[in-house]
Amino acid sequence: MLGQIAYALPFLAQGFALTLWVSLLVVVLSLIAGVILGVGLVYGPTPVRWAVRIFSDTIRGIPILVLIFFVYYGLPAVGIHLQSFWAAVLALTLFKTAQVVEYLRGAVASIPKGQSEAAMAIGLTFRQRLAYVIFPQAFRRFLPPWINGVTDAVKGSALVSLLGITDLMQAINQVIGRTYEAMPLYILGALIYFAVNYALSYASRRLERRFAFIRD
């Protein structure tokens, strides 16, 4: 049994690498998109605010599974053909982006108005106010839910196996298909996911402590 699993390890490792790659792409892309849209939601002119609001509410109202199938099977209908890998990354990114938008909005809204005004009063431009006054303070509130969201993204990436992409989950299923060693392999898989997310939570707690400079 162990021999068979050991034999399958390189294959599992490849799946694991793909899981990490998908997660990394989703986390980075959604962070960039979410922060941009979040700033639009908080500070943008009314049409922009509405557009972001509708985007965020719609996406968050759709189960992630439906979103994945929608992107994979629905987009070709309008002439957009994506490889299953990129369809999965896009769907997960959309989902995550809507969450990042909300974290950002919440974090920025928690900063008192007087901070922006003080920053304006010394002559900082909008971008400078965000960069030097608002974001550094909002960061501490943004971090905990966002890290939570990152661990969700790692777990959620297992859904890409539904599109036939060989991530860790799919690799495990395939090895089980060959070896019939379901329990040990699922336990191994659970341990790997757990280890990654534990490491993330640990890093998050360290970061939060580092940024605990603001009284509440």
Number of neighbouring beta carbons within 10 Å of residue 165: 21
Judge contact between 148 and 135, C-beta under 8 A.
no
Q: Is 136 in the site for another protein (CB under 8 A)?
A: yes
Q: Which of 81, 113 has the CB closer to another protein?
A: 113
**At its nearest, how many Å lie between another protein and the CB of residue 104?**
17
**Rounded to whole angstroms, how far apart are CA atoms 65 and 17?**
22
Burial 146-163 (b: 16+ CB within 10 A, else e): bbbbbbbbbbbbbbbbeb
Q: Is 137 in the site for another protein (CB under 8 A)?
A: yes
Tell which one of 7, 50, 73, 126 touches another protein (CB under 8 A): 126
**Site size with another protein, rule: CB under 8 A:** 21
**Interface positions, 175-214, toward another protein (CB under 8 A):** 213-214
Q: Is 117 in the site for another protein (CB under 8 A)?
A: yes
Tell which one of 81, 121, 177, 183 touches another protein (CB under 8 A): 121
Helix ranges, 80-134 (H): 84-109, 113-121, 126-128
Q: Is 110 in the site for another protein (CB under 8 A)?
A: no
- State the DSSP code for 123: T
Q: Which of 115, 174 has the CB closer to another protein?
A: 115
3-class secondary-structure state, position 1: coil
Applying CB under 8 A, the residues found at the interface with another protein are 112, 114-115, 117-126, 128, 132-133, 136-137, 213-215
